[in-house]
Structure 1
């Protein structure tokens, strides 16, 4: 593909055979030959061949069968890994590693660019042979390399990475005459939670930089600060859970066409200084049965959300509705339905769809049969059901088809937070339109960008939940 084929012929039949001959060559010329035209064509086809080769290299995984991956391919693979790292098998530990030549700029100035380029080429070939079946790596340039490594959880992490570092250094790299040793420093980032790829690359680069600033040939780990099991913050949260220091905040879901508003009740822990603790900070302790249970928390939320709805005053009060986000498994949710019914009767809540239950789709998927029973009872009670965290892919769509009628579905927050929408999201919205028809009871959440809002609006979505929406009438507290 990098060598053009040009035909030159004295035959007068060249023009007649042009289409046939062009299948095996780039261009045909007849004698007498115009040298300038021939050389111009040759140069043109050489440039085109180089461009084609560059495109192939860009989308190919690696230049040779036993070499490191191309940089672009490695980053694409890394982004996919980071997106699913929390769902990966628990028997593997993963690490992002950056390796750099110590004093690279000094060595380049002392020995020249060619000598350093030759050294890094030999390093790249050697490094490729040190990777396991599920590992990958790429050259960054400037004497730096990136690797994604896998180990079993039973392996000692520090020993595993130290061994890898030693294997990279094993040929005892040298430059100049007499040979002077060249050392490699290494930064390590454990990939144990979902993280943005840019943040991961920055953190491992910082770790590698710290290693280079040391004595040379060092390994530095980047460690996110871990909370002790008995940290001061954990103790404070335990105290607040024991005191049941819960408070409801309300975030509106607004129909931008009609102005109809549904308030979503969000539970928070609040101390005496009004410091607010989010569910992510305390739900784990409840799920473990420490200082209460998720079932106890959900009953508290139901009781106080219904009570708050009953105390609204003014002409518009009767039109307000509340969505109650529940955290319990579906079996416990089913047991709470009578409690919801009696609470609504005691609070004299009248009208249709005044109370909605909001359930996470992963929770519902674990027990679809119970969810269908709960849905039927809610419909008889004239209550509504919201399914949250709807994702692209067949699982969410299949779930909604199996459930049948639901009142709202909420897209996962990541879709609303980005102004860059994907073909996968467009396909999801088309499938949801096929399920729900023109009514489209879809809620786009975390929409904070006017471009994203316009995109969803053009797709027919009218229900939004985002911090940019102004508070409706002062009926419930609005959380910023």
Structure 2
């Protein structure tokens, strides 16, 4: 819409642009206009009228004198002035200047009209109550409506409800003081129903006769605001998962501890995924990232409104929980743990996640850093215990954490210094007790503490990742010793040597190649090596079984250890790629029903899978196991674990074996 020439904004703009310079000429212009002259029309009539005016003036002056002397002054004055203006040299210059001023006025009016109508900003004039009296043509582009569709409406009708009170306050503030202005941002409704961010400079010109309104210069800043919001969000959130990052989490912890209510407990829980590195190594970082996204979404799904979940980095997450009692935290973490254990589809492969949780409960004066530090100590205690458990921080826990760090450092040194040893527990045939094989069990010959069993250091190895190089050493040493026995004793040598492989090792991409190298380097036939994996490891998904398949392709036998203690079932045995199962010692027959041992023996026999019973401690147990169909057994009833030299002696004299029981 093109505003008229007397548009209040145009008048105001022109006035300010033309009254400051050329003051003298402006004064003459105003005087002439007050006298009733229209210079542009005088110029248009021309000189013939000037001559006629002179004749008429003389006649009127002569006749009127006899009628009414006062009429001379009334009639003659404008005629004389007109005659003077037209005929004098000075008057000619004035007429020219007046014409130039009028032309300049028209030029400026057209210029300002174009500027306002084509400005990127939208110019609005409203009354003090917000009623729109004028809006420039840019409103069609910015808001999707023509100026006519908005005039007469109240500007607050188009402001977002959450911003209306604030904008109304700005209007009231500006309206109280002439020439006052305020710059602010708010959301404005577009004709399509969307909300646009705008920046408004409101100026009070209510006192200006040519405007009489509040002038608002409005600019669309939606794209800038969205960019600003994205940058702000990225600065406080994890890019991969969309969760809060460490900085935002610390802010939320500070806020939660600062407003703690009586009877409420604020807890920080540190969550660390177990064996996440193996996912990256075996399936690639893209699969690892996909798993992290799944973990984040599953934890977020289990949390309550008001709880906070953050990703601190890598595979480490944190939870901020406010509960009425500690048991609420336990129940929530139980749900989170079970949900994480459900296999997730990652690139067409089912992958289950397991995590360890450390809990720290806030005390008065605690900072976010202090809470995270204590939760970290508790988390490592939980990780050392295994099985995806959680642990609460207690005062004595830091001492155990320091002990863990010390033992881990010593174990790392022991690997390099050659302080590890292998002892071998015989696996015998039933019922005669002949030595058929051995299981390699690691020991640590500590320089100060003496010979340490696996329970004293294996948890530290698993928690620190040292289990991988430690397991590699066990594999190679067992193959070396088995090859020595074969060369020294021939057919009397143990038929098999069994080594335990941890879950972390099983997920190492090069495990099968390491086994092949160990067999080749020491000259041990593949069928003489048995790799034992735990039942809990076996149910972790297809990745584990893919590694098992590659190991069996080498000719190596695979045994399912501790059977009956995990989540597998007898039905699962039909689909397992194993050559042997070892019944856990907890199911060794005791006086009373032995249903599980009986079922395992029957199913294994039907599937052609070899069975071994562990933890046999009495002759009665050995006899019962033989009656159930178990062909092999091991336990203190037959022999304790012993050094390789004692196995050599037992191979030469079976009585030595009986003496060690």
Q: TM-score range by the shorter chain?
A: 0.3 to 0.5
TM-score by length of 1: 0.47
Going by fraction, where is helix more abundant, 1 or 2?
Answer: 2
Greater RCO (Cα-Cα under 8 Å, separation 6 or more): 1
TM-score by length of 2: 0.35
Greater radius of gyration (CA): 2
